Structure 1
């Protein structure tokens, strides 16, 4: 490990990934999955208690984002948000039966 890398790890400094549309959408998707109790908490490793109402709001936010960006997304971004919304809706239905 280089000296600069060890200094960063000792100080707890880390480089954050660049934020673009895809990482933003994936972040919202991960949040919704956590709110559905699917994704475990990073610190405890345990799934959080599901809160379907809050998850629904996050899913609705993604849908609004998809509508507002219609015509401005490339194929990859459009496919990402469409497939993510489908997956989240299926998980929501599964969790709220």
Structure 2
């Protein structure tokens, strides 16, 4: 078997595809449509970097030192549930938003988080430990009760 490097094949058709997508996007913009209204030949997406509002990006969060927020916990179902629980409590106005230090009630968002946890529970049924199943039940019960209470107060 010879020790030769494999032949490198460069696909130059991508350039033509990108140019075609740019033309479609420009034509769609002129016609008042979004680029997503136009069919494409493949499932790849082109990101219009000129449309990104760079002023809205929180560069402090990107450039922050990992030591500023402490150690990152290992990825687990418990951490995910705790995160969703915290987000829901923030949406219920029970705890303040850490960015603004203000508590604001957003019941539709709270309901969305509760529904998301419920879907996660349904999709993981049979694949969770007893502790994880108990955590689902307790979190959902507490959040539903808090949601009902906040709904009455609104």
Same fold by TM-score greater than 0.5: yes
User: Which 4+ residue blocks in structure 1 deviate beyond 6 angstroms?
Assistant: none
Counting helix residues as a fraction of each chain, which structure ranks higher?
Answer: 1
Structure 2, unmatched stretches of 5+, are 1-63
CA deviations over 1:68-94 (Å, ceiling 9, x no partner): 100110000000011000000000000
Question: Could you tell me how far 1:41 is from its partner in structure 2?
Answer: 2.0
Pick 1 or 2: higher relative contact order, CA cutoff 8 A, min separation 6: 1
Equivalent residue number for residue 82 of structure 1: 137
Aligned length in residues = 86
Question: Could you tell me how far 1:13 is from its partner in structure 2?
Answer: 2.2
TM-score between the two structures when normalised by the length of structure 1? 0.82
Q: Helix, strand or coil: the match of 1:39?
A: coil
Larger-Rg structure: 2
Equivalent residue number for residue 92 of structure 1: 147
Instruction: Determine which of 84, 88, 112 is the counterpart of 1:32.
Output: 88
Question: Could you tell me how far 1:43 is from its partner in structure 2?
Answer: 4.1
Structure 1, unmatched stretches of 5+, are 1-10
TM-score between the two structures when normalised by the length of structure 2? 0.53
CA deviations over 1:46-70 (Å, ceiling 9, x no partner): 31x2010111011000000001100
